Amino acid sequence: MDKNLPSLLNMAMNNLFYISRNYKFSRNAASKPKMDCEQVLAKSGFKNLGFQQSNHPSSAIGAIISFFGITKGLLRLPFSSTLCMQYPLSKFFNYKVQIAKLKGCKIILIVHDVKTLMGKNKDVEKEMKRFNKADVLVLHNNIMIKWFAENGYKGKMVPLYLFDYLLVPGQKLSNLPERSDREVVFAGGLGMEKSAFLYQLDTLPNSNYSLKLFGNGFQKDKVPENSVLDYRGVFAPDEVLNHLKGNYGLVWNGNEVKECDGAFGKYIQYNNPHKTSLYLLAGLPIIVWDKAAVARLVEKEELGITISSMEELSDKLDKIDNSTYANMVANVDKMRNKIANGHFLQMAIQKSLESLN
């Protein structure tokens, strides 16, 4: 547990709970944030009332495991205790909330994604009704907090700032990059729906950098010879860290090189992409769209650079000398040690408990 956690948390430790579930194994990072959150909750004094965390690859069997594990946990949940949940939890959200409220429990809800902001749900009032069942929300950042306040959330809200990204047992942090070069890393979905901008980069003048790609959906047929794109494959979330070698990590979404557009472009103005934490953990300074919510943190903590368009990336890289780059890497190193140790969720949970008391 973080040495700065107050005695308040220790006093309440016997009253703090979560209920684990099955997280389907995949070679993308979809389940990694929620699995890490459970580990941090356990470090922070929360007890799991359900089955142990599992990764069965079958959706049907996984749903059965989750249902019985959650049911076991709800039966064991003490009256008037505090239950920490994660959102989205589409199949079981109402089930867990209703039983917890019948038992007079307080609910802390860690919000990973907001379907309305992602463009997957047009009815903001309906989703906000779900959020209003929680007593405290842990949200990505202050920009998202403002949106929730403007759209009808009545409870208390705490910013996370960055998602943690835990190492597996025996895994060590990689060596830090030593000098500013032109190897940029991009990890995530590489298909046309989310990352169509990638396949326009070769049309830009002066694209004198290489972009190493990691993830599913690479469109090889859309890439010319001598491309700036360099596809390196797809790896499981706990393996990819060992392959992210370069000088910067790129946070960008959408169809356009001039801005992050569409539903994913809108969303990045509110959320903290999990890949940001992955890049920082790998020791890579960040390159991010200047209108993204996480751009403010990157600028404030000097963790990288912001750009208004991919068209200006080459010029921006030209202006970074080795001294400036070394300063960014040093700041990244401080931040990645916090990310690897679950610092940000521990602090958010501390604030959540304080707000309940």
If you average pLDDT over residues 321-336, what whole number do you get?
96
Sign of the C-alpha dihedral computed for residues 194, 200, 202 and 207 taken in this order: negative
Q: Which residue has the higher pLDDT, 150 or 4?
A: 150
- pLDDT, one tens digit per residue, over 225-248 is 999 999 999 998 888 999 999 999
Say if 7-164+342-356 and 183-339 have the same CATH topology: yes
pLDDT band at 10 (very low <50, low <70, confident <90, very high): low
Q: Tokens 């190493």 label which residue? A: 212
- pLDDT, one tens digit per residue, over 206-217 is 888 999 999 999
- Residues of the chain with pLDDT > 90: what percent? 81
- Other CB atoms within 10 Å distance of the CB of residue 62: 18
C-beta separation of 42 from 48 below 8 A: yes
Specify the pLDDT at position 3.
Answer: 53
pLDDT of 179 above 60: yes
The domain locations on the chain are 7-164+342-356, 183-339
Specify the pLDDT at position 262.
Answer: 86
In this structure, whether the domain defined by 183-339 belongs to CATH 3.40.50.2000 is answered with yes
CATH architecture for residues 7-164+342-356: 3-Layer(aba) Sandwich (3.40)
Identity at 181, one-letter amino acid code: D
Mean pLDDT across the chain: 92
Rounded Cα distance between 260 and 262, Å, is 7
- pLDDT, one tens digit per residue, over 162-175 is 999 999 998 999 99
